[in-house]
Structure 1
């Protein structure tokens, strides 16, 4: 890199490129050693028995708090670094990467942005080391993107709040030690009556119900949370009282950004398997990769992957410079998610019959990719966000 002509033009840019390359290689090696041998079995069994060990190993590498401040055990890096880590874990196991994203972004990022000093000192260090697993709980059976319709209530009793109700579709729910939970503290105030709480596993009245048997992202444990007169100390309010929607929405753009790296990692995994296969499998006396229709599929998969990756990296770089765009954060996950599903379908087609059997991972890639068109706000919601952003320019 130092010999590159850009070194004299923009040395900081080159330093960043070198670091990003080293970060990617480090995560690649780590995932190949610690995760790849288990990826297929995780999908088949919907279990990752060494998940706690893996979490602590990620903590040792500093991966659990990529964008968290160093003083609380984080790494103090940027969102571009975060999406590179998310991408490389997703390339090996999208399911475990989803759990990683729920911990490192949905939970930790909200702590970084809104927790007070005492809360950060109490919760952040163990979340950084991997001793604790984090989660965020907003969705319910009848309220996903429609935040205001949530039914979980939190009524003040003395210096505590008593929570009653349920949360559903909660990634890391069965494993989480620390959860950020949204509840209605003033049901009559609609969006202005929701508050975020820090809930700990083991608090009286808090339990987890059935683990969900999902189509994809198997091994990323998801469940229902149950609150039955669950007493949460008032000091565990995250951010201002009745400002939970602000707390939630302030992190949604960054959530969409980081999770966009999941589909990119899946697309790379499809190419990792499909391209070599096309140059080994023979039909009609030649490698099938030499047929023009297969060359077309290779070209389409390659261009989809790289256009998504560059869009993702550009949005991440903008966020690192303080330029946050709800339109682009919604746009990048919309674009990456839908392209990942198509690339996975193309990968299955490239392998033909072998793409349709579970001896090959193509089916897993497709099932995992589809989640990203639904979770973190559906594709339809993302299109609404983009459309409303343009409409706002003409009010």
Structure 2
């Protein structure tokens, strides 16, 4: 079958959970013998050839980085994109289409030709009164939250979720866990490694500022800019603040450039642990899942999906206790030989179901295909 996935922001290897989820979903569909197409906004990118089914729309061209306001401006007259997307789907004879988001995935416009089934992926629960959100929910044949946590959030928000079907995010690249002997060496002397999009809500500058004076092992932070941002200039401000904090502890803290999706698990395989310092609820958290997949424990705040995802493979701190509490939990974990061993052993099993093929099967089943 031919399945279209629509996400205006999509770029291969972009440091974004939703892009990574679409890349993994496309991989899973191909592994099952189907043909995925990915519809995205222009202009073309230098890595586009990494996604064989990528189609760049001519009717939507976005700046880099783009904000919600930029997307709304590009869609002020929706007729051109509705016409183009509908024509592409008809010409490609797709069996179904998956809108990647209410706005960025065109879910509220839902420009599918008659007879083409549609799914709306949900990566965030929107305000109940938001017009685009309501239109997207009503237009889709099936609504697919990207995690069980999101499905529960829909219930808590009072939404009618009876027909929702979770299509879980999937890890793009799966590696075997680090062997026990190597893992013990990492516990005693390995670096703390963090991978994140440069977004103010990730709390990274505050985390680095709170680094204890007595801390004595390396902290390596991969900080990357995406092609979108929620606040104009937010990525640059985050980069500058993190670099300034790192410059105050140059013997320990290093800011590293972006990694490709396939490189992230290997990077985490060389870490003693990772820290998720996000101050708003993560609805899945790819970097936590990628760390867990190779046996690297996770420390984070007690909100969102991170505690649910990590379970016994992590430690949490209360958000109100601030980033200093994350360093305290991390130090306790690394000093606890038996506790660390249990956390590392539990980690891979926490995410073993998040494979590209399983995600693809879940989408096809949700669509009744």
**Bucket of the pairwise TM-score, normalised by the shorter protein:** under 0.3
- The structure whose residues are more often helix, as a share, is 1
Length-normalised TM-score, structure 2: 0.27
Greater Cα radius of gyration, structure 1 or 2:
1
